Amino acid sequence: MDQSSLSLNPNSKIENELYRLMIRSRQMIRNGLQPDLDWNEEKIIDSGKLLKEIEMIQRTMKMINKTINVKLFNESRDCCEELKKFTKLLIEHRKQLKQIDHDQMLKSLDEWSEQNDNFGRIRKYFFNV
């Protein structure tokens, strides 16, 4: 869903905060993935925090029996689902990035072993790789 679908008129502080969190979540999802492991780790943490904040607001609204705009509640529920999917995607992407780094390291070790016999022997002795 895009930002235009969030064109609601929140009328309370809690609804305003929920609305703001949903916009931040959607912007993060829209920005997609990056080939940077540190960026990826950061976004996993950020998406988890956003999800917790949105869910906390939803629980708070239930606990104090305050009615919330139905459309806003449905949008927030959908946003939580999108954040969960995005977090899973980030985790999978992180695994792929780590595998690529590992493969590149092994390739470099292989190249150095071919260029230097002593390095190759030491590598086999210490690392069994």
Structure confidence at residue 13 (pLDDT): 84
102 part of a folded domain: no
Q: Residue 126 falls within a domain, yes or no?
A: no
| Domain span at 73 | 3-97
Place 5 in a pLDDT band, splitting at 50, 70 and 90. Answer: very low
Residue that the structure tokens 């992407």 belong to: 93
Binned at pLDDT 50, 70 and 90, residue 86 comes out as very high
Q: What type of residue is 91?
A: I
What domain count does the chain have? 1
Residue 74 lies in a domain: yes
Q: Is residue 61 part of a domain?
A: yes
Residue 20 resides in a domain: yes
Structure tokens at 114: 């071919």
Per-residue pLDDT tens digits for 23-60:
999 999 999 888 888 999 999 999 999 999 999 988 88
- Specify if 55 maps to a domain: yes
Q: How confident is the model at residue 20 (pLDDT cuts 50, 70, 90)?
A: very high
Query: Is there a domain that residue 106 lies in?
Result: no
